[in-house]
Amino acid sequence: MKFFVDTADVDEIREINDIGLLDGVTTNPSLIMKSGRDIMEVTKEICDIVDGPVSAEVTATDYDGMIKEAAVLEKIAKNICIKLPLTLDGLKACKTLTGRGMKVNVTLCFSANQALLAAKAGATFISPFIGRLDDLGVDGMELIEEIRVIYDNYDFKTEILAASIRSADHVKQAAIIGADVATIPPAVIKSLAKHALTDKGLDAFLADWAKTGQKIE
């Protein structure tokens, strides 16, 4: 499973990329606002840090506006992936942009039928929002399962990008189901490496090593 980081904080992106775990980045208007920076400037810096796709979201809600904004965002860097909302205008824009050879991430997916339409429109990625469904008392992982079955039934090439991930368990379940990508907050990515028994074992090893009085040099 590919790991994307869901943030517009360049320091966090650089830190995770330096570990060697990062396959891409997703941003949205809310994350850009949180960064406090100009969208073009911060997106360009992110694209310079990572080699993989960087999702930059349009803010227009009509087809013509989306196409116009996509043309601006596309010029930022070669690894830009245009992020479009899952609306009829968004699907129409997706069909147009992918027809031009551009990568498109269709976002705000909350049903299998929506995901089916996105695949028909040629989306590069579909972003089902797990956490927001969980907030409503709906098992977001069931949506990932449904999309996986549908896409496999018809050999759709659209990649399932599990989004709105809140926990390490979300990551694990998405991986078990077979999501192609997970876009994950930086803190959750870091938490995947943590386990109490790992910490306990390392402390024991270091204590025993100290007793030997040796050094590796």
DSSP state of 165: -
Give the dihedral of Cα atoms 160, 166, 167, 169; nearest 10 deg.
-40
Selected catalytic residue, list 44, 68, 83, 190: 83
Query: Residue for token digits 């949506």?
Result: 143
User: Catalytic: 83?
Assistant: yes
Of 170, 196, 194, 195, residue with least CA distance to 183:
170
Residue 54: C-alpha distances to residues 3, 16, 28, 76, 138 (Å): 12, 15, 11, 10, 29
> Which residue numbers are catalytic?
83
